[in-house]
Amino acid sequence: MARAAGSGPRLALTAAAVAASLAFGAFLSLPHLAGEASSLDRAEAALADLRFLVAGPRPAPGDVVIVAIDERTIAAAGGYPLPRAYLARVLQAMRPAAPRAVAIDVLFLDPGPEAADAELARALAALPAVIGAAAVFPRTGPDLRARYGPFAGLPVASALARPHEPLRGAAREGLVNVAADPGGTPRHLPLLVAHADGVRPSLVLAAATLAAATLAAGSRPRLEADRIGLGETVAPLDLGASLALRFYGPQGSLTTVSAAALLAGEIDAAALRGRLLVLGAVALGSGDRFSTPFDPVMPGVEVLATGLSHLIHGDALRRDATVRRADAAMALVLPVLMLLGLSLPRVGLGLALAALPLAAFLGAALWLFGQGVWLSMALPLAAALAPLPPYLAARMLLDRAQARRLAAARDDLLRFLPPAVATRLAQDPDFLAVPVERRACVLFLDLSGFTTASEGLGPARTREMLKAMHDRVEAEATARGGAVTSFMGDGAMVLFGLPEAGGDDADRTVAAALALVATLRDWLAAQAPGEAPAGLRIGAHEGPVVLSRLGGARNQHITATGDTVNTTARLLDVAKAEGVALVLSEALLAARREPVPLPHPGRRARVAIRGRRAALDVVLVGA
C-alpha cells in the first residue's frame, strides 16, 4: 500500500514532465523543420564532424577531376591571378580530352586585356564550360528565403557578381556560393538562388546539367521538393534545393592534376576523356579554403567538385523534409521514453531503461550517417536531456518526502511492537516469517479487582489508569531486556529472549518480576480511595516456546506459543488461589545464571495447573 500511495505523486510528476518535454521538443523542432538557423546548429555541426570521423574517408568516384591551379601553375604563369591568356591556353589543352563539362571556379569580374579576354572567350566557347558567378546575400539578420510562389524556400540574393563581358556570353554561368555552418565548415551547396531577375543555378548544377546533356541530348534536371534527377541518377536535396555535402576525405581525395602539367602535355588526354573537369585554385593563399571534418584547409574548388560528384552519382547526404520530420518525431519520442524509464520506483533500473532508447538512438544515428542519412543528433539530445535535470531534481525531492512519510509511518507502526523487536524488523523485514523454536522466559501479569474498580471510574478515567499501568510495565520490562508482546486490558505478556535469546534471560525475568511488584504496588497505593484495583498478580516461567508471527494475512503480531506460555498464564490463577502477588516456577529459578537469594524469600509448593496433567513446582512470593 505504501508503494501504491507513493506511485500517485510520481505518476503525476512524470505526466507533467512528459507534457513539458513534448512542448519543449515541439518548440525546438519548429525552426529545424523550417530549415532555419537555431542555437543547436553549432552542436549539430560538431556531432556531424564526429560522425564523419567515425565513418572515415571513402573512395571518391574518378569521373570528376580537379584541374588545379597549384604552386607550379602559378610559377609557370608568372603570378596569381593567372593571366587570362594563360588560362585560355589551359582550357585549349582540355579540348583533346573531350570533357563532358568544364566548371571554372574563377570569378572574372573585372575586364582584362582586350586581346586576352577575346582569346579566353574563344577557349570557353569551344568547350561545354560553366564559369563562376557569385550571389551576394545580406550580411545581417536571418537568412532571407523566398516564402511564396514557385521559388518558395530558395535563398534570395540581394545582388549578383557576374563575369565581365564578353566572357559572360561565351559560357554558361553558375554560382560558386557555399553554405557553411557557424564554425565555417561547408555543409550545403545551394543549387538554386532566387534573384530579382529570376532563379540562378549553382556552378555544380550547371556543370552537371551540361554533362547530362552530352550523354542524352535535351536532358534537363528533374527538380522535386526533396530530390533532383539528372539522367538516371537521383540525388537527395535538403530544404531550399540545397545539396548536403558528404565529404570523401581530405584534400586530394578527388582526382587532381596540375594545370601546368596539363598544359605541358604531361597528362594523357585519354585519362581525362569524358570526365567532368573542375578548374580552380589549390595553392595556399591563392583562393578560398574551408575547414572540413577531414581537412582544416580544404580548397573551395574541391568542395565544389565534391558537390558535382554528388549530383552525378547521387551520393550526397540525405537530409530532406522526411528526415527532418523524423528528427522532430525523435525529439518528441526520445524524452518521453527516457522519462518513462526514469519514472520507475527503482532508480537504478530506471536509469538503465532510460539509457536504452538513448543508446539505440545514438547507435542508429551513427550507423545511418555512414549510410548517407543525416539524422539530427543535437535536436533529440537537447529535447531529451534538457528536461532530465529538473525532473530528476523534482523526483529526488518527491522521493525524499515520500521516504520521510514512509519512515514516519513505519515508526508509527513500530510503536505497536516492543522496541527491540521493532529495531530487528526494521533491519530484517522477514524476521520470524519462519517460526523459531527455542527456550524463553515468559511473564504474565494482571490487576485483581480492576473490573470492579473500572465500573465506578468511567471510560476516560479507566483509560488513564490503564495507560499509567502500561507505561510502568513497559518501562520496567524494557529496562531489563523484556519485550511486551501484548497488553490485554489490565494485563500484559512479557517475553525474555526476544528477538534473541540471552544466557541471563532467567535472571532478568526474575528481576523484572520483583521490580514490577514493587512499582505497581507503589502506584496502586498512590491512587485515590475507591479508584485503585485490589492488587496485582504476576506469574513467570521458563521453557521451550515457538516464536512466530500469528494472525491473518493482513493483520499479524509476533508472539510465543506452547505449553510454557499456557502454563505461565495459569500461574495467575495460582497467585489468586494462594493469595500472593508473585508466582515463580522452579524451572525459571533454576535457569538463572546467578541464583542469588530472593529479597523476599517465598514458600515452595507443588501446585496443580488447571488443564494440565502434571503438577508444577513453584515459589510463592508476597502476600
The per-residue pLDDT for range 558-615, each reduced to its tens digit, is 888 999 999 999 999 999 999 899 999 999 999 999 877 887 778 899 998 888 888 9
Please write the tens of the pLDDT for every residue from 376-385.
Answer: 999 999 999 9
Residue 273, amino acid: R
Q: What one-character DSSP code corresponds to residue 218?
A: T
What whole-number distance in Å separates Cα of residue 249 and Cα of residue 60?
Answer: 8
CA distance 453 to 462: 9
Long-range Cβ contact pairs of 379-382 (< 8 A, separation 24 or more): 379/28, 379/29, 379/32, 379/40, 379/44, 379/327, 379/328, 379/330, 379/331, 380/327, 380/330, 380/331, 380/334, 381/43, 382/28, 382/40, 382/43, 382/331
312 contacts 275 by C-beta, under 8 angstroms: no
Average pLDDT value for the chain: 89
CA-based nearest residue to 343, from 9, 1, 2: 9
With a CB cutoff of 8 Å and minimum separation 6, the contacts of 419 are: 478
DSSP 374-395: ---SHHHHHHHHTTHHHHHHHH
530-546 mean pLDDT: 87
Q: Which of 255, 242, 204 is nearest to 101 (CA)?
A: 204
In this prediction, residue 623 carries a pLDDT of 63
Peptide bond before residue 499 is cis, with ω within 30 degrees of 0: yes
- pLDDT, tens digit (0-9, with 9 covering 90-100), for 417-430: 677 777 777 777 77
Tens of pLDDT along 179-231?
A: 999 889 999 999 999 988 889 999 999 999 998 876 555 567 888 888 999 88
Cβ 43 vs Cβ 49: under 8 Å: no
| φ/ψ (deg, to 5) at 415 | -65, -20
Residue 442 identity? V
| pLDDT score recorded for residue 288 | 85
SS3 136: strand
The answer to whether 57 and 254 have CB atoms below 8 angstroms apart is no
- In the numeric block, which cell numbers belong to residue 29? 523542432
How does residue 146 score in pLDDT terms, banded at 50, 70 and 90? low
Q: Is 553's pLDDT higher than 80?
A: no
Per-residue pLDDT at 555 exceeds 50: yes
pLDDT digits (tens, 9 = 90+) for 279-320: 999 998 877 899 999 999 999 999 999 999 999 999 999 999
C-alpha cell at 372: 548517407
Looking at per-residue pLDDT, the higher value among 604 and 534 belongs to 604
Give the distance, in angstroms, between the CA of residue 159 and the centroid of all CA atoms in the same chain. 48
CA 419 to chain centre: 43
pLDDT at 141 over 50: no
- For helices 388-414 and 321-342, give the axis angle rounded to 10 degrees: 20
Q: Which residues contact 328 (CB under 8 A, 6 or more apart)?
A: 25, 26, 29, 32, 33, 379
Do the Cβ atoms of 598 and 514 come closer than 8 Å?
Answer: yes
Cell 508503494: give the residue: 3
Is it the case that residue 486 has pLDDT exceeding 70?
yes
Determine the residue type at 12: A
Helix-strand-coil percent breakdown of the chain, rounded to 5? 45, 25, 30
Question: Three-state DSSP class for 141?
Answer: coil
